[in-house]
Structure 1
Amino acid sequence: MSIEQRKQPRLRVLLKGRIHFNNNSSSIDCLVRDMSPQGARLMLSETATLPEKFDLYIPQKERTYRASLRWRREDGIGVTFDGGETATPDAAPDLTVSALLRRVGELEAENASLKRRLADMIAAAASANFD
């Protein structure tokens, strides 16, 4: 049985994230699985070597957190957020009409992109079956 060492418990979430490093010249997609104001647990699809410090961008929150790598396991990594008040993840969202319309537009564009990728994959699978 492990002893909880966090100051605040992490809440279970499922958010898309992107890790940026090497002066934003490198990036990796990730899933944010647990999150608190002090840190998060991230799932990575790639087994890349990450630096000790990097930026974590979460599009749904429209926030970038400066993160420090704390632990690494086969199924993910744990990070703490640097920067005190600027890293608080539960800030009030922008609910203005223009912000909501912008967000709807972003989601529609992402949905269209995913539909195109799915159609391309289906077409590639169909052509592979005929070869």
Structure 2
Amino acid sequence: MSTATHHVDEHRGAPRRRTLMSAQIRYSGGAVTADCVVRNISDTGAKIDVSAGIVLPERFDLVIPQKNVVHACELRWRRAAEAGVAFLDATGQAGATGAPAALTPRTTPTEDALKARIRQLEEENARLRGRIVELGGA
């Protein structure tokens, strides 16, 4: 193994396996979602590809339907469209068992949560339009 590869591996809690799985980032109680691709994964974290324009919070859920799991994640790094995440559930911080949660209907936002998020976004949109007018924009 090369020195460079060995150095990178030293920062990881577990070896990563290359993969190409569709996944979804969810936060704000499931009201905000973004599609992503899991590029590599281990028992303790993953590297994901997500559109560079998507803002990621410090903590979110990573839903991986192909593995039938939802991992509670912490963002560790971000470079353009790539991000590294640590699984909080792998370290015991997200649940008593330390195991990832199974993919269940609870991960789907309720209709009320979606309506509340739409109202919030409409209010923010109206506020921003007002601000544009104040600044002399169209």
- The two structures have a TM-score, normalised by structure 2, of 0.59
1:31 aligns with 2:37: yes
Tell me how many residue pairs correspond in the alignment. Answer: 89
Displacement after TM superposition at 1:46 (Å): 4.8
SS of structure 2 residue aligned to 1:86: coil
1:6 aligns with 2:19: no
Question: Aligned equivalents of 2:80 and 2:56: distance in 1?
Answer: 14
Amino acid at match of 1:9: P
Per the normalisation by structure 1, the TM-score is: 0.62
SS in 2 for 1:65: strand
Listed one character per residue, the Cα deviations across residues 30-55 of structure 1 (whole Å, up to 9, x for unaligned) are 00000000000000135211110000
Determine if the alignment matches structure 1 residue 86 to structure 2 residue 86: no
Segments of structure 2 that go 5 or more residues without pairing to the other structure are 91-97, 102-138
| Displaced runs of 4 or more, over 6 A | none
CA distance in 2, matches of 1:44, 1:68: 15
RMSD: 1.9
For residue 44 of structure 1, the aligned residue among 39, 50, 58 is 50
Identity across the alignment (%): 36
